[in-house]
Structure 1
Amino acid sequence: MRATTTPVPGAGPLVTEVLVVGSGPTGLTVANLLGTFGITTLLVERNTSTSEEAKAISLDDESLRTLQAAGLDAEVYSVVVPGTGTRYFSARGRPLFHARGPGRRLGHSFKNSFAQPDLERVLAAGLARFPHVTVLFGTELHDLDEDSSGVDAVLTDVDGQERRVRARYVLGCDGGRSTVRDLAGIQMTGVTFPDRWLVVDALGDQHDQRYAMHVGDWRRPHVIVAGRDGRCRYEFWLRPGEADPGPDPPFDLVRRLVGRYRPLRPDDVERSVVYGFHALLAERFSHGRCFLLGDAAHMMPPFAGQGLNSGVRDATNLAWKLAAVLSGRARPTLLDTYEQERRPHAQATVDLSVRLGSIVMTTSRTRALARDAFVASAMRLPAGRRFLEQMRYRPAAHLRQGFLVGGAGGVGGRLVGRPLPQPTVLAGDDHAPARLDDVLGPGPTVLGIDLEPELWAALSDLDLRPLDGRRVDVRLDDRASWSRNGRTAVADLDGQLEKTFGHARGRLVFVRPDRIVAAVVHPSRLGGLPAALSPYTPAPEDVVAPAPGPAATRTN
């Protein structure tokens, strides 16, 4: 990464394949993914550094899997509290249930707490691995002008100096007040709620629980999330007139509300702010060569802990598609599937966040008591207990449209459109335990499920871009792993491969770089796959030479 706080002097424009606007978690994540895929990227941020505000506090297993793909999961684990979950309390303060999620199906704990400034520093440091990624802090986007082959962007630095950038694509990761969204002429629709909440990030706290606490007291609903190193987040519903929106509310109010749990001095408060919630969704997630990600595309109440995670999902979905198009492996039509795949799930997640808030954080005594009675009844039933404790009320990451081939029924119906599980497997001749994604690598993968070796030959004469990629044999029935002829075989360690693929023996499973299963095909039916992929398979005129790297310099 070449990092600087101002654009580099010179008359000519910077030239890049992708311009990312905004260095919050979404922008930093997509820049790391693009860097991993070898895409020349320029990231600009109006502030002079990453944020010091501890806004988001929950990172889920999908996000950690994405950061694993970016090669940063070890660094991220150094700043999170893994495996937290959420414990819900009744109106009278009694435990209702502990939502831990469905286990480590994707290779990581379902829910993990963190401090956003720590995460942003890790993500920003990760960009230093890539000489083809440049970051300009203190640099603001002012204008965009798109033509058939790219976008011209006008930037200014903190001194008002103007600089132009030529990019193939622009990603708006610049938050709820997105400049990219405004310049693209995209509207947000939804509601803004009148309720106000006090958020306090306290230091030197004695809470050491590895779970968030949602206290459904209708008189004062609140949330407590213990973090690392004595940090703790408190969130309290405010009655009308108790405080105005904005930072640094009266300390007497802060002390009074937090005081039911601990004594508080001004020096114990790292941050306090009063804010309201939005449930908003962009009418479109893209316009021409401009795309919206994160809060620029969707805003939601925090009760499902999905705001930041939804932005990471956007980055995961879009980054590999941009890389496929820019490297000539796919037509630009592949980018149309970003909105098809992400907008419905974002809408469902916004809706869930609103519903959870209205139920868990209700200020109605009648609704609170009815909620508690319903949950107590549900917990007496095995199905109800599983639904609540495994958080099955969260929208499933199951694509039903977009870049998929088949999957409506049959063998493929159980896999297509769903995330590939990530068990620990045995890999190669030394039978070393490894996470499945680490064996697959960053690109697309074709899995042969107990496939006879000669059946791989059916792939040799077919153009299966952008799905064709690394080929991996999956061995079931307790057989050994191996490496030969340029292929690696993985073997079952704990029965998870059998559970996932046992019904798909003798078939090829095509996995996208974002670990979504795109197709399940018997070798005898591979001949129909190129036609299904033809809307996305590149023609010669779609292949464009990569842009030169941005003309920026490194500063220490």
Structure 2
Amino acid sequence: MTTYDTDVVVIGAGPVGLTLANLIGVRGHRATVLEARHELIDYPRGVGLDDESIRTLHTAGLWERVQPFTVPHHVVRLVNGTGQVLATNNPGTQEFGYPRKHGFIQPLVDRELAAGLDRFDGTGLRFGHRVVGIEDRGDHVAVTAERPGADDDTVETVTLTARYAVGCEGGSSFTRKWMGVSFEGKSPSTRWVVVDVENDPIGTPSVYLGADPRRPYVSIGLPQGVRRWEFMLHDDEPTDLCDDRAFMHSLLARHVPDPSALKIINQRTFTHHGRVASDFRKGRVFIAGDAAHLMPVWLGQGWNSGIRDATNLAWKLTAVLAGDADDALLDTYTVERRKHAADMIDVNMAAGTVMKMGRLGGKVRDVAATALNAVPKWKSYFTELRFKPMPRYAAGVVVDQADLTPGRARAGFKNGTGFKNRTGFKGRTGGLAPFVDSAGELSPVGLQFIQPRVSTADATDVLLDDVTGDWWTLATWGTDPTAFLSADDLDLVRRHRVKLVSFVPETQRAWAEKRYADSPAPVTVVGDTSGALKDWFDVRACGLVLLRPDRFVAAASLTRQAPQALAAVCRAGSLLTDRTTAVHEEGVRA
């Protein structure tokens, strides 16, 4: 078998590249990160951290390191030029195990991501390596970088070989340009100046989006006493005006007395972008984060969208590297991530339009906002962040709930026409109609599964991911998950390290542990201490879910359909059986 310098070359030591390398390392494979700079970027950029990203950091074993540099429950208020609150974003739910929004200090978090690589043999970060060439050689890639030579006047060239390469080097990505894909979207000419100060002179912990027709602004309370302001520059104001102290003081004077007394720790100008690459893969080369899509900053989704890319790509790369899946699995990365990134760009662009309305448009907006706030349903639309499109994968490693077709998943499973599904039941809903009511019309397939706190025989009051682990899970509600699995099915479960889980009310846990002790494969009994798992299954037409390593629902079905659901997931994910593994491994050696 051919030996390469590393399994994956990651180009760029930003948060996406570092997170990806950590996720590859925690699953037992090697990653080498090449960074053109001689150190990590030390100025703040992103300031918003979502619960989805925290779930990923926890999987990577880094959340405890990162947590001290965050502040939970970041409340965001949209205000007009007079300070009137037009909308409040304060989601109180924690369905994924953590508060929905956190503020954070990016350079300190990035530092912990980089330090995390030290845990893994064969994984590391190389500064001063500027990538200048990529070659896809069919069965591996060769990445060429320039680095400083023995003295300051020379440059050395080094080439690394790997199974795959991923470009995470930002909006000007060399990798994306090498791939030759288009970068579609808009780059508005609007410029903004960012100012970060120590010893927050305001002291409020929240975020204010100032939709002021005179000059839109953002004011953000951050951890460790940092306050950030962002001010829009008008078209007739040159960028170098920001170097004028009097001008900067005039911007800050409306927000704080005596701007000259502030200790500024960072000041930069930037332009919003909204672009997405036409493809995230070319052969053995991928792009992620800003290299794949540029996100306007309004909803704090640039950092988080990149982490979603790393989460999605990492488990697929490691599945292929481990010989668990065919290379075709990697095609689902673009299929799943591109659409959601594009949707997030559209929502952020719309938010920017609301922020930048002029005096007339602003008056219309303010009147409309007042009317909407008077209606609880519409008010909660903003309060609970319902306008933010949650990732839902309609194609890729998913199985349609109605007919168990692999590779696609409709949002609703009731199709209104009679047909016979693989269970042999006849009905308008593929055999589900006799067992469910209208509460279960929406399918959970393609959505991220919840993460309540639970208890088991070995742990009390822990997050669900700590029980299920970071790979495949087959879970049922109230029953033995092995009940309908054949010997061949159980071989497949073992082959792919699928964890078998039974969710039960905490009152039944002791009974279930005793009852399932003699099951043909180990079953982990999870006590639903809060009722959240029961509530989840109660309004969904399924008693079984197959969860992917990234905690998204790959399939949902009746418990009797377990064999069909498992087989369909294997096809959707190009997962290899014992009969195909040898062929796959021979291809790797070629």
| Fold match (TM-score > 0.5) | yes
Pairing 1:502–2:523 present: no
Cα displacement string for residues 507-532 of structure 1 (whole angstroms, at most 9, x for unaligned residues): 33110011100012334334434256
Q: Which residue in 2 is equivalent to 1:19?
A: 9
- Give the 3 Å change call, closer, same or farther, for CA 221–468 of structure 1 in structure 2: same
Shift of 1:418: 0.7
Candidates 144, 159, 163, aligned match of 2:134: 144
Candidates 435, 441, 463, aligned match of 1:435: 463
Pairing 1:117–2:103 present: no
Counterparts of 1:459 and 1:297, CA distance in 2: 43
Candidates 58, 61, 68, aligned match of 1:68: 58
Worse-matched range after superposition: 486-495 or 168-177 = 486-495
Counterparts of 1:531 and 1:423, CA distance in 2: 27
Q: Which residue in 1 is equivalent to 2:437?
A: none
Worse-matched range after superposition: 121-130 or 471-480 = 471-480
Worse-matched range after superposition: 459-468 or 46-55 = 459-468
Candidates 74, 79, 83, aligned match of 1:84: 74
Pairing 1:104–2:86 present: no
Q: Is the 8 A contact 1:444 1:468 kept in 2?
A: yes
Candidates 493, 511, 519, aligned match of 2:529: 493
Q: Which residue in 2 is equivalent to 1:286?
A: 281
Shift of 1:502: 2.7
Q: Which residue in 1 is equivalent to 2:259?
A: 264
The aligned runs of 1:2-401 (5 Å cut-off) are: 15-101=5-91, 103-159=93-149, 160-244=155-239, 249-262=243-256, 263-265=258-260, 268-359=263-354, 361-401=355-395
Counterparts of 1:114 and 1:32, CA distance in 2: 20
- Give the 3 Å change call, closer, same or farther, for CA 431–71 of structure 1 in structure 2: closer
Cα displacement string for residues 389-420 of structure 1 (whole angstroms, at most 9, x for unaligned residues): 01111112211111101133166943211100
Cα displacement string for residues 249-300 of structure 1 (whole angstroms, at most 9, x for unaligned residues): 3222222111222233487111111221111111111111111100000002
Counterparts of 1:412 and 1:511, CA distance in 2: 20
Cα displacement string for residues 122-149 of structure 1 (whole angstroms, at most 9, x for unaligned residues): 1111111111312111111110111220
2:395 counterpart SS class = coil
Amino acid at match of 1:368: G
Q: Is the 8 A contact 1:451 1:505 kept in 2?
A: no
Pairing 1:517–2:553 present: yes
Q: Is the 8 A contact 2:485 2:563 kept in 1?
A: no
Counterparts of 2:237 and 2:359, CA distance in 1: 20
2:209 counterpart SS class = strand
Q: Which has the higher contact order (CA 8 A, sep 6+)?
A: 1
1:303 counterpart SS class = coil
Worse-matched range after superposition: 145-154 or 200-209 = 200-209
Worse-matched range after superposition: 150-159 or 537-546 = 537-546
The aligned runs of 1:429-468 (5 Å cut-off) are: 432-452=460-480, 455=483, 457-458=485-486, 460-461=488-489, 464=492
Q: Is the 8 A contact 2:399 2:568 kept in 1?
A: no
Q: Which residue in 2 is equivalent to 1:426?
A: 455
Counterparts of 2:453 and 2:178, CA distance in 1: 46
Counterparts of 2:55 and 2:225, CA distance in 1: 27
Counterparts of 2:481 and 2:371, CA distance in 1: 54
Worse-matched range after superposition: 100-109 or 502-511 = 502-511
Shift of 1:456: 5.5
Counterparts of 1:456 and 1:38, CA distance in 2: 32
Worse-matched range after superposition: 101-110 or 467-476 = 467-476
Counterparts of 1:276 and 1:314, CA distance in 2: 23
1:256 counterpart SS class = helix
Shift of 1:478: 3.9
Q: Is the 8 A contact 1:85 1:110 kept in 2?
A: no
- Give the 3 Å change call, closer, same or farther, for CA 454–31 of structure 1 in structure 2: closer
Counterparts of 1:82 and 1:545, CA distance in 2: 48
Amino acid at match of 1:375: A
1:397 counterpart SS class = coil
Q: Is the 8 A contact 1:171 1:292 kept in 2?
A: yes
Q: Which residue in 1 is equivalent to 2:445?
A: 416
Q: Which residue in 2 is equivalent to 1:534?
A: 571
Counterparts of 1:230 and 1:504, CA distance in 2: 44
Counterparts of 2:539 and 2:488, CA distance in 1: 25
Counterparts of 1:98 and 1:27, CA distance in 2: 33
Shift of 1:219: 0.5
Q: Is the 8 A contact 2:69 2:109 kept in 1?
A: yes
Shift of 1:424: 0.7
Counterparts of 1:85 and 1:39, CA distance in 2: 39
Structure 2 unaligned blocks of 5 or more: 150-154, 402-409, 415-439
Q: Output the aligned Cα RMSD.
A: 2.4
Q: Is the 8 A contact 2:485 2:562 kept in 1?
A: no
- Give the 3 Å change call, closer, same or farther, for CA 446–468 of structure 1 in structure 2: farther
Cα displacement string for residues 447-472 of structure 1 (whole angstroms, at most 9, x for unaligned residues): 12211466064465366579761111
Cα displacement string for residues 424-480 of structure 1 (whole angstroms, at most 9, x for unaligned residues): 11222x561110011111111111221146606446536657976111110037422
Worse-matched range after superposition: 259-268 or 366-375 = 259-268
- Give the 3 Å change call, closer, same or farther, for CA 257–267 of structure 1 in structure 2: closer
Amino acid at match of 2:367: A
What is the total number of aligned residue pairs between the two structures? Answer: 533
Counterparts of 1:397 and 1:531, CA distance in 2: 21
Amino acid at match of 2:35: E
Q: Which residue in 2 is equivalent to 1:4?
A: none
Amino acid at match of 1:239: H
Q: Is the 8 A contact 1:98 1:389 kept in 2?
A: yes
Shift of 1:541: 2.0
Q: Is the 8 A contact 2:441 2:541 kept in 1?
A: no
Amino acid at match of 1:534: R
Amino acid at match of 1:371: R
2:489 counterpart SS class = coil
Counterparts of 1:511 and 1:245, CA distance in 2: 52
Amino acid at match of 1:311: G
Amino acid at match of 1:175: G
Q: Is the 8 A contact 1:249 1:272 kept in 2?
A: no
Counterparts of 1:172 and 1:142, CA distance in 2: 12
- Give the 3 Å change call, closer, same or farther, for CA 187–199 of structure 1 in structure 2: same
Counterparts of 1:384 and 1:74, CA distance in 2: 36
Pairing 1:469–2:511 present: no
1:518 counterpart SS class = strand
1:534 counterpart SS class = helix
Q: Is the 8 A contact 2:555 2:569 kept in 1?
A: no
Q: Which residue in 1 is equivalent to 2:433?
A: none
